[in-house]
Amino acid sequence: MLEDESYLSFNFRHYSYLARGLYADQLGRWLAFFVRNQILALKSEDYYRDPASVLGRLLEFVGVPPRPPAESPRPSLHSHPPMDPGLRRALLEFFAPHNRRLARLLGFDMHWEV
């Protein structure tokens, strides 16, 4: 993959959970082509809490007249066992510098360290 940018790896695309969580890297690629004010970053947590407000921000950003959401979004109804505390600490430690970099790029913190 490092030698051939066109190489496609099934395993990398489907099991690279840590790499896919490096949002600052992904945003950085977009910022190579677009200026910051051409990109709108929204939190799904905000959308689930207040869909009308977040939809309003999105529609205003793209220049579309405001309108109410068609239906209220529903977060996943699947329940999961609690995460192992050691794994949680390890993930928080791994992502901490990447999330700080993302906060600098976005101009706001996602508050994912909870």
Would you say how long the chain is, in residues?
A: 114
Report DSSP letters for 14-83, one per residue.
HH-HHHHT-HHHHHHHHHTTS-GGG-----HHHHHH-HHHHHHHHHHHHT------SS---------PPP
Q: What is the pLDDT along the chain (114 residues), one digit of tens a residue?
A: 678 878 877 776 667 888 889 999 999 999 999 999 999 999 988 988 898 999 999 999 999 998 887 877 676 777 889 999 999 999 999 999 999 999 999 998 888 876
Q: How far apart are CA 33 and CA 111, in angstroms?
A: 27
Domain residues of the chain, as ranges?
A: 10-71+84-106
Q: What is the DSSP letter of 81?
A: P
The pLDDT assigned to 54 comes to 93
* Whether the predicted model's global pTM rises above the 0.85 cut: no
